[in-house]
Amino acid sequence: MQQMAIPHPFPYQGSKRGIARHILAHFPRDVDCLIEPFCGSGAISLATAAHGLAKRFWLNDLNKPLMALWEEILQRPNELSKNYEQLWTEQHSDKRAFFFGIRDKFNAAHRPHHLLYLLARIVKGSVRYSAEGLFNQSADNRRSGMRPILMQCQILGVHALLAGKTTLSAVDFRKVVAEAAKEDLIYMDPPYQGTSFTRDHRYCRGLSYAEFADALQIMNDRGLSYMASYDGKTGEKSHGKPLPRSLSLTHLHISAGRSSQATLLGDKHETVESLYLSPALVERLNDGQRHDRIPQIQQEFVLESAIVGRAIGHFQNPIVM
């Protein structure tokens, strides 16, 4: 059995990397294009590509600077890696001041390598924008960000998986799903229901419950296969409102375990996330179209976790400056 470590070039809060194996377990055979209308870090597309479960990919996010970073990863990976290395090396005289300087430059010019550096440094991978659309998250000053040699490996790994077979866009999700075909599979992880509505919607915006449900109904009417991560629970605390029963979705529950932050705080409650499957997808799976490599993939994910853990430990030893 082949051992693999799926690359991920930047941390991103809300990434489904940790539960990707549970999501892929419901993939049908013969997926032409996997579409992520709210791609973020593209964790599901990367896992899908690594396991050969789709022929093509479409990554979309309303955050245009993020999609410009994706374009650099897929079109100019070596240049991006070198630019990141330069920033990472220059920061050590005063990491705090350097971070704020790069943040100001990013807000002025939206250079992809500046965003990559910010994503590598920010607190908990949590992207935040002001009401005016300015990146305003602070740095985790306990860390320097991913070392350049590891970052290069991650970027080149992503490039190898997705370059030449991936469409990129930065438009409203409805424009993307309008182009989907019945042979495709759509995975949606929309902005958390508590996301605030800002005056500037260039980079992120809230998505109302009603408009998302309406879009899903249209997708049902077209017979599209889709999955949606939307709500969940931590202990007795609910996160978001379940999707309407009128959509006739199959509602699954996935244990996401405890977050690292919860562990540090002594919180023993596990997070359970919801995954909804569309009627058309369930029909494909019930017709015997479930991918026959799923058991093998589950084992490969266990191996990946161990491999990535060893790699990160090797490359992120304390730095003596």
The string of DSSP letters for 256-275 reads EE--HHHHHTT--PPEEEEE
Q: Is there a domain that residue 270 lies in? A: yes
The answer as to whether 190 is a domain residue is yes
**pTM for the model:** 0.85
pLDDT of residue 304: 46
> What is the spatial distance between Cα 111 and Cα 68, in angstroms, rounded to a whole number?
8
166 lies in some domain: yes
Q: Which class for 321: exposed (0-12), middle (13-18), buried (19 or more C-beta within 10 A)?
A: exposed
CATH number at 294 reads 3.40.50.150
Which residues of the chain fall short of a pLDDT of 50?
1-3, 194-203, 235, 264, 302-321
Any domain includes 3: no
State how far Cα 173 lies from the chain centre: 15
Closest CA to 141 of 179, 110, 176, 96: 96
Whole-angstrom CA distances from 75 to 80, 173, 315 are 9, 23, 26
In a domain, 74, yes or no: yes
H helices present in the chain, as ranges: 20-24, 43-50, 64-75, 77-90, 95-109, 112-121, 148-162, 173-177, 209-221, 260-264, 279-284, 294-315
The rounded radius of gyration (Å) of the Cα atoms in the chain is: 20
Tell me if 305 is assigned to some domain: yes
Is residue 320 in a domain?
Answer: no
Domain that holds residue 33: 17-315
pLDDT given at position 319: 30
Q: Give the per-residue pLDDT at 310.
A: 42
- pLDDT value of position 318: 31
Residue 8 covered by a domain? no
Report the domain count for the chain.
Answer: 1
Q: What is the DSSP letter of 168?
A: E
pLDDT at 188: 97
CB-neighbour burial class of residue 66 (10 A; exposed 0-12, middle 13-18, buried 19+): buried
How far is the C-alpha of 194 from the C-alpha of 204, rounded, in Å? Answer: 13
pLDDT score of 199: 44
Q: pLDDT for 4-24, tens place per residue?
A: 589 998 887 766 888 899 999
Across the chain, mean pLDDT equals: 84
- Dihedral sign, Cα of residue 266, residue 136, residue 125, residue 197: positive
